[in-house]
Amino acid sequence: MFAALTFIPIGLAADRFGRKPLIVLTWSASTIGGLAFLPLADWHGAFIGSVLYWTGSAALPVTNAHLIQVVPRARLGADLGLVYGAFFLGTIIGSPFAGPIAAALGLRGGLAVGVGVFVLSTLLTLLLRPTPPPAHVATPALPRAFWTLLAVTPLAALVANMVNPLFSVFVRDVVDVPLERVGVYVGLIALGAALLSAASGRVSDRLGPAPAVIGAGAALTFGAAIVALAGHSEAALGVGALLLGAQSAPNPVLAAALERVLPPSRSALGYSGFQLVYALGFGTGGLLSGVLYDADALLPLLVQVALALPVTVTVAIIVSRTVRARRESAG
């Protein structure tokens, strides 16, 4: 929560001073936060490290603003999808090795390996092509279309995070998957997110945002339904987990749509606002997931089955109308 409060100031600074310096700064803050956990002997010192670590989340909207400056509009959705997908590839690669590394080196040793990779990631941000800050505009004229997209984002994020928080608990306690294989299914969600995010961005570029968003909603619905009906079948669980990765597939589509409505001088601020309300909806979805799971382990899945397609269809209609209206006004 404290880290989320930094999103808007960081977005404003990125619009004023350029995107690359703020990307490097937020990545560095996150790396320092990870380093701060290494010497800890108890939980009391974890607060500052956690705030610094999660401040790195502000790098995502600033990265989006950077991409729209350097990527041609015709392939923006596809490139955003690849960037979002690459994030999940890190989870896919890291998840199977986290347990064995921690077992061999201890929890602190495993954390040190993760921090080492994080340091490398931060150094790579120095290779980003610098872009000059856009011409400064005295008044933050964010158009009505932006606020319309912002209004539907929390609900979409809430539905997207209905199953994820307790998925590993469900896999272990309900499907009775052995503990050593639980991480495989978490990794399958990340693999689905990587593949479907990239595919969704390409579909958006070629056919428009509506088919991409609705397709993600359909995949999410089928995934939740398959997991709910899987029983003790690990094969069905694997297919369902892969499709649950569609929870992240609309994100590059929405990010590309925002480029159509945001003035260049306020793009980092706009993306930061989008990330903030998305985080609020995502967190609310996680809390609601816990309440539903306590009542019945299948309820989060059933709610996602019921809501995923109606919500994504609503979002798709709003996004496509907004983008079309902006295109016509610009033409």
Q: Residue ranges per domain, the chain?
A: 4-126+143-330
pLDDT score at 140: 56
Split at pLDDT 50, 70, 90, the class of 2 is low
- Decide if pLDDT at 69 tops 90: no
Question: What mean pLDDT is predicted for residues 227-242?
Answer: 92
Split at pLDDT 50, 70, 90, the class of 330 is low
- For the whole prediction, is pTM greater than 0.85? no
Split at pLDDT 50, 70, 90, the class of 310 is very high
pLDDT score at 96: 66
Cα–Cα distance for residue pair 101/115, rounded to 1 Å: 13
Task: Please name which of 223, 47, 69 lies closest in space to residue 133, comparing C-alpha atoms.
Answer: 69
Cα–Cα distance for residue pair 217/83, rounded to 1 Å: 21
User: Other C-beta atoms within 10 Å of 254: how many?
Assistant: 23
- Looking only at Cα atoms, what is the longest distance across the chain? 61
Average pLDDT across the chain, whole number: 85
**DSSP alpha helix (H) spans, the chain:** 7-17, 19-37, 46-55, 59-70, 76-125, 144-160, 167-173, 179-207, 209-229, 234-244, 250-261, 267-295, 299-330
With a CB cutoff of 8 Å and minimum separation 6, the contacts of 168 are 182, 183, 185, 186
Split at pLDDT 50, 70, 90, the class of 227 is very high
With a CB cutoff of 8 Å and minimum separation 6, the contacts of 201 are 77, 78, 79, 80, 81, 82, 84, 212, 252, 253, 256
Mapped onto helix, strand or coil, the DSSP state of residue 215 is helix
Of 43 and 108, which is predicted with more confidence? 108
pLDDT score at 236: 93
The hierarchical CATH code for the domain 4-126+143-330 is 1.20.1250.20
8 Å CB contact between 80 and 255: yes
- Decide if pLDDT at 143 tops 70: yes
Split at pLDDT 50, 70, 90, the class of 28 is very high
- Decide if pLDDT at 138 tops 70: no
- Decide if pLDDT at 116 tops 70: yes
User: Other C-beta atoms within 10 Å of 150: how many?
Assistant: 17
Q: For tokens 């990010």, what's the residue?
A: 255
Sequential DSSP letters for 104-133? HHHHHHHHHHHHHHHHHHHHHHTTSPP-PP
Residue 297 tokens, joined: 């382990």
Sequential DSSP letters for 44-82? GGHHHHHHHHHHGGGHHHHHHHHHHHHS-GGGHHHHHHH
Q: Which of 87-96, 123-132, 298-307 has the lowest mean pLDDT?
A: 87-96
Question: What mean pLDDT is predicted for residues 244-269?
Answer: 86
Of 286 and 136, which is predicted with more confidence? 286
- Decide if pLDDT at 1 tops 90: no
Split at pLDDT 50, 70, 90, the class of 329 is low
Question: What mean pLDDT is predicted for residues 203-218?
Answer: 91
Of 183 and 124, which is predicted with more confidence? 124
- Decide if pLDDT at 75 tops 80: yes
Of 325 and 204, which is predicted with more confidence? 204
pLDDT score at 303: 93
Split at pLDDT 50, 70, 90, the class of 56 is confident
- Decide if pLDDT at 106 tops 90: no
